[in-house]
Structure 1
Amino acid sequence: MLDDIETLVRCESPSSDHEAVSRSAEVVAEVGRRLLGVEPERIVVAGVTHLRWRFGDGPPRVLLLGHHDTVWPHGSLETHPFSVRDGVLRGPGCFDMKAGVVMALHAAATVPDRDGLSILVTGDEEVGSPSSRALIEESAAGCDAAFVLEASADGGALKCRRKGVSHYRVEVVGRAAHAGLEPEKGINAGIEIVHQILVIAAIADPEAGTSVTPTVVSAGTTVNTVPAAASVAVDVRVWNEAEQLRVDRAMRDLRPVLEDAEVRVTGGINRPPLEEGSSAGLFELARELSGELGLGELASASVGGASDGNYTAGMGIPTLDGLGAVGGGAHADHEHVVVAELPRRTALLAALVENVLAKRGPSGATKSAGESGAARR
């Protein structure tokens, strides 16, 4: 596993470079071919390369979901070289989430009967999955479970609840004028965008855990010109669908404060929330299996970040996230993976796949053949 993780980490794959992502996909395909004995489908959408393995003749019932793109730019290996030292693995993208991809492939390789299993490794998760969302939803449709190989939360906790994400861009159209000769003839888009930022920030509801955060702001062209245009990007995080819809309505209801200024709102809901109910049954099964395997007590966590598991949960597919590497520092200089946890978590993942394919529920009982057939129908 360490060798395979090193192979993936050493193939840099920033999301924005489609050629690099394509090269990375070939590296992942080679590892998967060696472990699983079959070639994946190579699915290229809008220039981005995704990989999918499907086993059996019937519809998939379990989806292993991961991504091989990273946030790290080219050259990151020079400043953050791959290493394994004192039980800790380091390297750009190791924690988020090339180790998770390797874990998925190794876990699947140990499952004796893979009939009904599907593995999807996408190439654009870090930028919001614009080309892979439809593929994710197609691959998850009708599944009994989606297991997401994103890295764990602190201390190895599984991610049983994730905030939904919305992204907006608010643009203001004003009118330019000379700032010294006749500023009164202009419509100052900079002032208008400030009014809008104050309104936008007030949409947040901290008690409900809803954040509405103005981020990148731009206005004006030269120091002696009344700005004719301005914009602000807005990041929204919510725990439930009702809040996501409330914020969406409020954003689309923005109106200009200055006379004759125009306000335009684009963007919208990116990922629905992964609500706790989507993970509850699978988490209980994971706890039971962890005990049976002697892996200790599992914890659950709620996190503000989103993943492709938000999409599967939004479809109503039972989804358990954070099954990947234990470590920390995603997207940061101290990104790392705890080596000792790799085989332990991979064993847990393999057990989850086997048990769901065998129709074992969180009560620990395996359904009868008749019940399994009824469930599939």
Structure 2
Amino acid sequence: MESSLDYTQANFESILQDVINLVNVETGSYDMAQLKEGCDAVEALFRERIGDPDIFERYSATGYGDTLALTYEGALPGHVMLIGHYDTVWPLGTLDAWGERASRSEDGRLKESGPGIFDMKTGLVQGIWSLKALKDRGIEHPTVTFLINGDEERGSVSSRPMIEEKAKEVDAVLVLEPTLDGRVKVARKGVAIVAVDAIGIEAHAGLEPAKGASAITALMEYCLAATRLADPAKETTINVGIVEGGSGSNVVAGHAHAVIDIRLKDPQEKDRLNEGFDAITWSDERVRIDTIRDWNRPPMVFNENSRVLLDVLKRSAQRMGRELGTAEVGGGSDANYVSALNIPVICGLGAVGGGPHARHEFIYPEEIPFYTALVADSLLDLPLLPGREAEVLSEHVS
């Protein structure tokens, strides 16, 4: 029987065209009209390529892109979820100003470029074609749910409850975010954002400086103290990314604002950091400092459940003559939410390329067939329940 890799290689041009078509629909995270058009395009692609889902849900939230949940019931036991997002960081009009779309790298490899092509519209299309590769060849599969959201680049604010709800119903989760140079992502740092507002007392800096209480000075003291909470040994980093305030050089600042980014690998670091922030003091008690701590994404931890899932993916890759590498990264994704529920999850099964969130964002198209086939074959090999021995089925069809 034709293997999954043979199938995806034979259909490579159609898969790549689907990617280009999705990239041509701009879906900036803050443009509701474009997000609706993009969500419509994604839904239409699912229905065109793999048919109407057995269960279809489309959720709307004011100010965010819609979230799709499409379930295709299978004859085999088990339930797998594939997660992806269609929103990008690029505003409307970026496509027209992008420039060259197809080129070659220094080593001669073909590159395809465009806003969102790497992060992560290629992964979306690969996920669709992975199930199509099984259906078109008449191969039975477990039940597959696709969870596709339109607010991932904004922290999955509206879709997080649905991600967590659907994840609790499945046996394993694969996230279609881009690879790291071809390696899948087994761990990600957690992310927190701390917004800091300092309210001081304005005064003339030359005539009556003592009557003023500088919000900027207090904010600097606060931010410096915050950065000292970082712990390189535990890979906990703290970055003050935004600082603004004051109204003039001759005015004691009455207001100042900062935004602090926290990345942590160890979930237990959250308690230490909270205590550390609570203990920060500043020299002028007349200044009031208010903070909002948004612990946006918990760390994605590589545990034993996910190790079993990784072994499945590695076996599938080996049958196609490839060794599958792994990576731990600092950026967060929706895999973080799944990991916190102790559900087997592997991220980074999408595109091979580079330049996420950059003007040179690109993919290597020739890698599409392998990673699409990898997901297809792994759907058949996935452990049906945590702790239950995997049923290796794809050996009979690859």
Q: Same fold (TM over 0.5)?
A: yes
1-structure distance, mates of 2:276, 2:207: 38
Shift in Å at residue 261 of structure 1? 1.6
In structure 1, the gaps of 5 or more residues are 368-377
Distance in 1, matches of 2:82 and 2:272, equals 32
Q: Is 2:125 the partner of 1:102?
A: yes
Given that residues 344 and 386 in structure 2 are in contact (C-alpha distance below 8 angstroms), is that contact kept between their aligned partners in structure 1?
Answer: no
The 2-side partners of 1:260 and 1:85 are apart by 59
Partner of 2:336: 310
Equivalent residue number for residue 306 of structure 2: 279
**Counterparts of 2:79 and 2:283, CA distance in 1:** 53
Q: Note closer, same or farther for the CA distance 1:360–1:34 as it changes in structure 2 (3 Å cut).
A: farther
- Per-residue CA deviations over 1:219-260 (Å, capped at 9, x if unaligned) read 212332211111210100011101133213322333332122
| Alpha-carbon distance in 1 for matches of 2:330, 2:88 | 19
Paired residue secondary structure (2:28): coil
In the TM superposition, 1:204-243 aligns within 5 A as 204-243=230-269
Q: Which residue of 45, 48, 54 corresponds with 2:61?
A: 45
Match of 1:88 in 2: 111
Give the residue type in structure 1 aligned to 2:190. Answer: G
- 2: distance between equivalents of 1:361 and 1:289? 20
How far, CA to CA, are the matches of 1:114 and 1:19 in structure 2? 36
Amino acid at match of 1:63: M
Structure 1 distance, partners of 2:350, 2:319, is 19
Structure 2 CA distance for aligned equivalents of residues 353 and 300 of structure 1 = 19
Partner SS state of residue 71, structure 1: coil
Is the Cα–Cα contact under 8 Å of residues 248 and 269 in structure 1 kept in the other structure?
A: no
Q: Establish whether residue 66 from structure 1 lines up as the match of residue 71 from structure 2.
A: no
User: For residue 363 of structure 2, what is the aligned residue in structure 1?
Assistant: 337
Which residue is equivalent to 1:20? 34
Aligned-partner residue type, residue 58 of structure 2: R
Paired letter, 2:299: P
Task: Tell me, in whole angstroms, the C-alpha distance in 2 between the residues paired with 1:341 and 1:205.
Answer: 38
Which amino acid in the other structure matches residue 301 of structure 1?
A
* Counterpart selection for 1:120 from 144, 147, 150: 147
Counterpart check, 1:33 vs 2:47: yes
Of 169, 189, 192, 1:142 maps to: 169
Amino acid in the other structure paired with 1:157:
R
One-letter amino acid of the structure 2 residue matched with residue 79 of structure 1: A
Amino acid at match of 1:280: R
Match of 1:297 in 2: 323
Per-residue deviation, 1:115? 4.7
Secondary structure of the equivalent of 2:70?
strand
Match of 1:375 in 2: none
Which residue matches 1:324? 350
- Give, as a single letter, the amino acid of the residue that structure 2 aligns with 1:158: V
Find out whether 1:353 has 2:379 as its counterpart.
yes
Contact 1:254 1:263 in 2 (8 A): no
Where structure 2 has 5 or more consecutive residues not aligned to the other structure, the ranges are: 1-14, 105-109, 394-398
Mapped contact 1:282–1:320 kept (Cα < 8 A): yes
Kept after mapping to 1: 8 A contact 2:171/2:386: no
**DSSP 3-state at the match of 1:213:** strand
Tell me by how many angstroms 1:60 deviates. 7.5
The aligned counterpart of 1:268 is 294
Q: Secondary structure at the match of 1:74?
A: coil
Measured in 2, the distance between the counterparts of 1:60 and 1:169 equals 43
Contact persistence 1:161–1:279 (CA under 8 A): no
Contact 1:273-1:310 within 8 A present in 2 as well: yes
Tell me, in whole angstroms, the C-alpha distance in 1 between the residues paired with 2:216 and 2:227.
17
Which position in structure 1 is the counterpart of 2:11? Answer: none
CA deviation vs aligned residue, 1:94-133 (integer Å, no higher than 9, x gap) = 0000000001111122233355210011001011111111
Question: Which one-letter code corresponds to 1:73 in the other structure?
Answer: P
> Structure 2 vs 1, CA of residues 100 and 29 (structure 1 numbering), >3 Å: closer, same or farther?
same
Moved more, 104-113 or 285-294: 104-113
Q: Is residue 76 of structure 1 aligned with residue 94 of structure 2?
A: yes
Whether the aligned pair in 2 keeps the contact of 1:60 and 1:142 (CA below 8 Å) is: no
Contact 2:383 2:391 in 1 (8 A): no
Specify the code of the residue in structure 1 equivalent to 2:245.
Answer: A
Give distance in 2, aligned partners of 1:230 and 1:36: 53
Does the Cα contact within 8 Å between 2:300 and 2:340 map onto a contact in 1?
A: yes
Matched with 2:72 is 55
Tell whether the 8 Å contact from 2:80 to 2:142 is kept in structure 1 after alignment.
Answer: no
The 2-side partners of 1:148 and 1:72 are apart by 21
- Matches of 1:305 and 1:64, distance apart in 2: 19
Shift of 1:38: 0.7
